[in-house]
Amino acid sequence: MAMSIRLREAVLRHLQSRGSTGLDGAVRRLSLEVEVEGRLETVLLALRDGELQCVSSDGLEDGPHVATALRFIGGLDVGEASLRPGQQVTATTPENVRPAHDLADALDDLLTAITRVGVQGAQYAPSVEATLERVLEAAPSPTPAGLGRFVGRLNHELRERDPRKVARMLAGVSGLVDALRSETPTPESDFVVETWLGARAGAGPEIELLYDRTMVEVGREWMAGVDRASVERRYLIDVRTGEVYREDRPRNATASLGPCPRELHVGLAEVESSPAPRRIRVLQYEVRPDVSSATWERLSQVASRSFSEVTEWYRRSLRAAPALAEPFYLLKPYRTERNGVFKAFDADGHQLVLDRTERRGAVLAFYDLLSEGMNPVWLAGRLTDTGATLCLAPFAVGTAEGRYIRL
């Protein structure tokens, strides 16, 4: 109850400081993070056709997290802590909150340190290690997901010593520094801050609600953050649109249940306005462990057949979030070529190089199948580039066996 009381006090203080806005508005949807007995769940409250709908991320419509959220909205847990008009409350600043300009300065120093020593020597440079530690000290605690993932990716790119990719990461950092130092936030700067650090105080990320969708999970992997294997990422594909979503599960946290691959009939989900692929929270769903042949076939129908469109989407994704976008796409090649370098082509002759730098066993097995003459029905994987050439690192592949398609 204490956290709810503090949150309500903060809201009342904010309202008292601003006074009436004179606007006639209505709240139709709320998303709250609710902790009950040490377990954190997201609760969604929404008005749909005039009726209140409540659901938590564990799939319950009347569980303890929903009940706590309803009590909070109804003011039933405030008790004697509610404020009277004109009453003053002394606010304390949590120790883990750092001013935005401190983080901006630390990130600026990181840019300078890497530039001075160069990409080839940055991996073990004491100055780079020291500035990275300063960044994490200046950041909110726990480390926000976007910033944590950036640290993991930056360390990887420094190990690979790829100047082009490191420059792309640093360009994204520069954009964050500018957004943090902006005295008059804009929608664009707010989006940058949200994707890196979460929403600014008093705001929330833009959410799209999805209803009644069928999705297929085609793979999952552990991603590096501040620590190795910090987040398990699942790739879900909407069989209606072909869009790929990511369901990120931090270590020791919960996510939707079921094996991989699996078919999900999603009753309700939230999708964040975030770098590609967009992050999804599945709130209401049913799981089918055995994906039907018709669903696999449906993936081949919604997969993109135009590599020029894929290329343009990839470039837009990088422009929007050069350090955080990790484009993942579903496509259907017209043909493949195996002359030294594996390539996929669309019907207009546009090509994708199939990247072999990842050494996971499943990827190597895929190239063995290509060498034996297998033609993939569809491909799903990460998009990257070598400058002028678009590349795909295959993560999942659909193959035809007679009248059936399998993963």
Q: What tens digit of pLDDT does each residue of 84-106 get?
A: 333 333 333 344 334 688 999 99
User: Which residue is associated with the tokens 């350090």?
Assistant: 323
pLDDT digits 0-9 by tens, 181-211: 988 888 888 889 989 988 654 455 578 999 9
How large a percentage of the chain has pLDDT more than 90?
A: 51
Of 90 and 374, the structure prediction assigns the larger pLDDT to 374
Rounded Cα distance, 242 and 221, in Å: 20
Of 41 and 225, the structure prediction assigns the larger pLDDT to 225
Rounded Cα distance, 176 and 151, in Å: 14
Per-residue pLDDT at 25: 57
Per-residue pLDDT at 202: 43
Of 246 and 27, the structure prediction assigns the larger pLDDT to 246
Per-residue pLDDT at 217: 96
Identify whether the C-beta of residue 392 lies closer than 8 Å to the C-beta of residue 379. yes
Q: Which residues contact 241 (CB under 8 A, 6 or more apart)?
A: 302
Compute the residue count for the chain.
Answer: 407
Q: Which of 234, 115, 93, 209 lies closest to 163, judged by CA?
A: 115
Helices 100-117 and 163-181: crossing angle in degrees, nearest 10, is 150
Identify whether the C-beta of residue 248 lies closer than 8 Å to the C-beta of residue 204. no
* Rg over CA atoms, the chain: 24
